[in-house]
């Protein structure tokens, strides 16, 4: 370890920045955020820096006297000789010195900072690669979103109360782990601090009571793991149990917590490992056992995902839940196929419809679907393709209307078949696309030839 990472309290302390250009301005801003009293010395000082009247500005070349009463110095000029002089004088006085992008002149390194005050994370490569440290900070931005500020502040607010009520240190640690990983934390992160405080008080009043678990109804998107939301990823790493469908891709399932129990509930066409009512009951039972349950569904849970049915049951049973939207297949798959769902020259409306109704029929509103200048997206329509095309033609759409089948869209198994209402059934019979598929109907399909951009490995 080349550097010992420390967090300094600079509130009210004098800090010196030598350099009044863009870099000096940026460093002064960071010090101001930390509550420091900032002095800037430079022959010329930027207009942006002058907009801070609380900064002491000295328009002059650096002199050793400028170090008086400083507890930290930053050399931020574009003249190495000046930076070297600043470093030498600061070290002679025992003052920590940071020379921007010049580790040889530094006794301290300014890290890349992820600020979730009071939670702070700092990254440093010891000056070896500032770009890499910024990249790593960017990655962690996805894991620790802005609302973690609330959680850290909530924990700070109740720290002393919990310490007084839970006097055994090991038990107190377990208490906080449960709070910061469970329902209470989720309420804070979603803005319900009043509800979180009530649950925390309930837990303190009866420490032996086990709180109910919670269900996270999470949309996994159409297949590509890169399309998951930050919030989905966070909850996937927290869940004790994962209940997932056939439409959730294997790489996404593998991103859930390694030690979580995984329960596959099927949901293929006409082949359900568990009936919907059994899945609803399973979610209730697991939550009442105090577990954090991730209900992972392909696409978006509220678009042909039966998410509404599941949370109706949870609400009736008093089970806490939250819903995380996902990119629905219509949007994600169409984008990866190079087919815009709307376009001023082709479609001013877009209709989503399921080709497999609850009773197993395909009894749809054909007059609505056969209207011109719109895009129709059909979920679960592959096995009724012949009926779909015939009915649309029967109700007025030209048999030359463009139509596409997208197989396993957004994944490396994506394949797109295009044709017309008259020709696509025969094409599908010959090519035998594999579920899951999405059907897109309308003039926008003709744009695919120009707009196709996603080419799975091994395809042109």
Please give the positions annotated as active site.
Answer: 245, 267
Residue closest to 10 by CA, chosen among 25, 32, 28: 32
């Amino acid at each position: 370890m080349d550097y010992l990472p420390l967090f300094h309290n600079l509130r009210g302390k004098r800090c010196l920045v030598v350099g009044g250009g863009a870099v000096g301005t940026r460093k002064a801003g960071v010090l101001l955020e930390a509550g420091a009293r900032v002095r800037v010395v430079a022959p010329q000082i930027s207009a942006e820096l002058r907009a801070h009247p609380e900064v002491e500005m000295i328009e002059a070349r650096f002199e050793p006297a400028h170090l008086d009463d400083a507890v930290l110095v930053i050399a931020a000029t574009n003249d190495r000789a000046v930076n070297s002089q600043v470093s030498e004088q600061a070290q002679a006085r025992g003052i920590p010195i940071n020379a921007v992008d010049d580790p040889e002149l530094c006794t301290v390194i300014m890290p890349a900072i992820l600020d979730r005050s009071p939670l702070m994370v700092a990254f440093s490569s010891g000056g070896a690669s500032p770009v890499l440290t910024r990249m790593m900070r960017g990655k962690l931005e996805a894991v620790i979103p802005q609302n973690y500020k609330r959680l850290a502040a909530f924990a700070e607010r109740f720290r002393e109360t919990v310490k007084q009520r839970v006097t055994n240190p090991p038990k107190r640690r377990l208490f906080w782990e449960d709070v910061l990983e469970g329902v209470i934390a989720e309420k804070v992160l979603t803005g319900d601090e009043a509800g979180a405080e009530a649950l925390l008080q309930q837990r303190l009043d009866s420490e032996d009571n086990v709180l109910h678990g919670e269900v996270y109804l999470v949309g996994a998107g159409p297949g590509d793991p890169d399309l998951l939301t930050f919030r989905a990823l966070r909850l996937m790493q927290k869940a004790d149990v994962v209940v997932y469908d056939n439409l959730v891709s294997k790489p996404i399932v593998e991103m859930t917590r390694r030690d979580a129990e995984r329960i596959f509930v099927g949901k293929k066409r006409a082949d359900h490992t568990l009936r919907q009512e059994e899945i609803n009951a399973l979610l209730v039972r697991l939550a009442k056992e105090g577990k954090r349950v991730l209900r992972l569904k392909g696409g978006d849970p509220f678009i042909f995902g039966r998410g509404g049915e599941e949370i109706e049951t949870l609400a009736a049973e008093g089970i806490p839940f939250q819903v995380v939207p996902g990119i629905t297949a219509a949007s994600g798959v169409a984008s990866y196929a190079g087919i815009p769902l709307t376009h001023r020259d082709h479609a001013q409306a877009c209709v989503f419809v399921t080709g497999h109704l609850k009773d197993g029929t395909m009894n749809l509103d054909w007059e609505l679907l056969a209207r011109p200048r719109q895009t129709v997206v059909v979920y679960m329509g592959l096995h009724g393709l012949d009926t779909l095309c015939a009915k649309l033609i029967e109700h007025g759409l030209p048999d030359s209307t463009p139509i596409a089948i997208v197989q396993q869209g957004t994944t490396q198994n994506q394949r797109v078949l295009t044709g017309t209402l008259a020709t696509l059934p025969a094409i599908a019979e010959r090519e035998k696309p594999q579920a899951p598929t999405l059907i897109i109907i309308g003039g926008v399909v003709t744009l695919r030839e120009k707009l196709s951009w996603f080419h799975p490995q091994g395809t042109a």
